[in-house]
Structures are given as structure tokens and as C-alpha cells.
Amino acid sequence: MSALAVLGGSPVTSNLLQKTSLKSHNDLARTYLLDAFDSGVWDDWPGVESMASAFQQEWADFNGSRFCALLTNGTHTLQVALETLDIGAFDEVIVPGLTWQATASAVCDVNAVPVIVDVDPETLCIDPKAVEAAITPKTRAIIPVHLYHRMADMDALLAIAKKHNLHIIEDTAHVHGSQWRGKSAGTIGTFGSFSFQRSKLMNAGEGGALLMQDEDLYWKVVSQRSCGREFKPGVKVHSGNYRMTSFQAAILRAQLVALRENAEVMDRTSRAFDRAIEAAPGVRPLFRSENLTRQCSYGFVFLYDQNAFDGLPATQFRKALSAELGVTFGTTYEPLNQSPVYYPHTKKRHQLSQEYMQAITPSRWQLPVAEALWRDRVVQALWSILGCPIEKAHLLTDAIGKIYEQRHALLENPK
């Protein structure tokens, strides 16, 4: 067996992704972009046919949703969803401690309090038991995030929401096309909030969409994304401008064509990768609920056991694995109680009262599970890894086996 690539030996493969199985349809995107330009309708306006109105309908149909509204990004979608539900000053919204900062900062931006709870160590998603324990008379909503590779336990969360009369806003920024019991992610809660930012499975540079099943909520969102105009008589909500352009929608239309073809491929590759991880020493896959009937995820994640590798720190393992496979493996976002991009208590606009400033100070929350996952346990690669041809999945087992065999060489060379 060759020496480890990170120590100068030859890698298991120079690039696991030399030939991706995932489609992108960039030529179609280019055609749609020119069509949008030539049409002269560059924005998104209710009742006016455009690339935006076409994609809005197609995204609703693909997900089996009654309504879809396109917005500027996946942060504004959360903010608009909260405001549409009349959630605001001093209300409480429960969010997971392991997520991108937007999930919580959107709550602060409507002057509500994000109540940050710990996650399930087997899925990385919000822990329903922690949610139930955090409910108070001020709680109005839960924002589960289907993070990286799995979905939150929607059955448990729906039961809690029903019992306590709460809304669920699914943060679906990571799972375009995933399904829970055959229903699309984003159509199970009151709202589903998508991001089309550049790292996501569907990417228009920037962009967002809300799915919802209630017509009144739809017209409220349409008013809110368009400066509070009254498009349906009697329905308007004071607001600013959160509209997407037709150019973004043109790119997304082509990417939806690709997603239709890629969804099953990604699911099959995820399952093959989980099996490859099961066959490797000192690591294990995340728990996959049988209710997660289709998985199209932002990342591929597995769990590392430092003890099994005789104390080899996860950072060294991730580096060694990246070198063996020619793909970057990292960890999760920092937990919100220590995230360098989440510090809402420093902002003048949030100085509603001493009590509010204390309530939104991130360090007040204890998140031991999220912290351990981030620091020691998670090994994560972005979604493009799911383009790896299935017959190459065994290279993951081979690479981890090689690192395991030579773990002492790494322990002696901590770089």
C-alpha cells in the first residue's frame, strides 16, 4: 500500500469526480437567458407572463405545491414568511443551533427572538425533544433546517406544532428535490423557504422562493415582496422590495430540467456512499429515516470516531481524506452560539430593550451536541460529490481504510 497522499504518497484517486453523472444544461440556460432579454420583460410582476412567472409555476408543479412566490434570496424568504404570519416584536421562534446564520438572523430582523436549540447527533437536524422543551407561551413558530444531507423529523415536528398551535417554516435551502414520505421538502410546513445562492443545488447567483398551500398567505407574500402593493383586493402588507428578476428565473428553469434528471441519481449515489461508509473502519453514516423517500442534498456527510483512530483529530482525518480522493472534505457551519457571522446583539437596530438584547445574545445558548459534531465528528463534502459514478463509491471505503491503516504515521506527523 502506498504512503498517505497527505504525507507525499500517491492518492487512491487524483479526482473522484473526473466524470460527473450530474447534468447541468447550461446551453438551455443560455437560450432561456436570451429569450428573457428578447422578451423585454425583465422583472416579475403578477399577471404578466415572463420567465419568472414560468419558473414560479414550474417550481410549484415540480414540488406538488399549490403556490410558489419567487423572492430575492433565501434569507428574505424566511423574513417574509415570518412577517406574513404576523410574527414580530418579542415573539419566540425556535431554530436549530447548527445552521447558516440566516435561519436565526431573519428572526431578529423581524424583532422576534430566535430560541436556539440543539440538534440530533444522528441527523444534524433540529432535535424534536429540544424543541418541545423550549416552548413557552411566546412561541409562535419552529424553523427546522433540513441540513446538508438529511431532513428533520417532520412527523415529530408536525405533532409538536399541532399540539402547541405553532407554524412550521421549513428552511429548505439545502434540499431542492428531497421528499419526506413522497412529499416535497418545503410543502409540509406552512412555508418552505428555498435559496438559489451560488453554492446551492440550484443556483442563479442569488435568489429565493417560498412554497405555501394557503391562497391568502400567497397574496400576502406577493404584496410583501412588492412594496406592500394590493394585488388582491383587501390583502396588503407594508413592506419593501424583495423581487427576483426574470434573468435569474431563466437560469433556474434550465436547472430545474437538470434537477428532474439528477434527483434519482443523487439519491442512489447517497445510498451507495452510505454503504461505502458502513464498510469502512472508524466511521458511520448518518441515520437515514425510512420516511426520507428521496434525498437530493447540499452535502454528503458521515460521522468520524476519533477514538477508533487512536485519537487522530478530525481536522487531520479530513485533510488526509481530501488528499486521497481529490475532493475537499470539511465540517459544518460553526454552531450559532460561536459563529463569527452571527452577532445580532451588536446591532443598534436591535436595541429594543435591555431584555431583548440579552435574549438575542448568542452565547446564552448551550449546544453541546452541535459543538461536538462541528469540532470532532462531521466529515462533509459539498453536493457535487454526488455526481461520482456509483461504481467508484468503493474508493471512499478504500481511502478511509488506507488512512485507518496508517493512522499512526499521521499521529507522528501532525501538520
CB 318 within 8 A of CB 331: yes
Site for ligand PLP (CB under 6 A): how many residues?
14
Q: Which stretch binds ligand PLP (CB under 6 A): 22-30, 44-52, 94-102, 241-249?
A: 94-102
Question: With binding defined as CB under 6 A, does residue 197 bind ligand PLP?
Answer: yes
Shortest Å distance, C-beta 200 to ligand PLP: 7
Name which position in 25, 149, 174, 318 contacts ligand PLP (CB under 6 A): 174
Question: With binding defined as CB under 6 A, does residue 97 bind ligand PLP?
Answer: no
**Closer by beta carbon to ligand PLP, 244 or else 263:** 244
Helix (H) / strand (E) containing 219 = helix 215-225
Site string for ligand PLP, 349-388 (x = CB under 6 A): ----------------------------------------
Name which position in 65, 195, 226, 295 contacts ligand PLP (CB under 6 A): 195
Alpha carbon distance 221, 65 (integer Å): 15
For 353-368, b/e burial (b = at least 16 CB within 10 A) is eeebeebbebeebebe
Query: Which distant-in-sequence residues (6+ apart) come within 8 Å of 410 by Cβ?
Result: 4, 6, 7, 312, 316, 317, 320, 403
**Closer by beta carbon to ligand PLP, 8 or else 205:** 205
Secondary structure, 3-state, 337-384: HHCCCCCHHHCHHHCCCHHHHHHCCHHHCCCHHHHHHHHHHEEEEEHH
**Closer by beta carbon to ligand PLP, 102 or else 280:** 102
**Closer by beta carbon to ligand PLP, 102 or else 160:** 102
Shortest Å distance, C-beta 171 to ligand PLP: 5
Cα–Cα distances in Å, from 170 out to 90, 147, 205, 412? 21, 11, 22, 45
Shortest Å distance, C-beta 96 to ligand PLP: 9
Question: Taking Cα atoms as reference points, which of 101, 183, 81, 184 lies closest to residue 141?
Answer: 81
Name which position in 102, 250, 258, 303 contacts ligand PLP (CB under 6 A): 102
Q: Which of residues 129-168 bind ligand PLP (CB under 6 A)?
A: 145
Q: How big is the chain by its Cα radius of gyration, in Å?
A: 22
Number of Cβ within a 10 Å radius of residue 57: 12
**Closer by beta carbon to ligand PLP, 378 or else 399:** 378
Binding interface with ligand PLP (CB under 6 A): 73-75, 99-100, 102-103, 145, 171, 173-174, 195, 197, 208
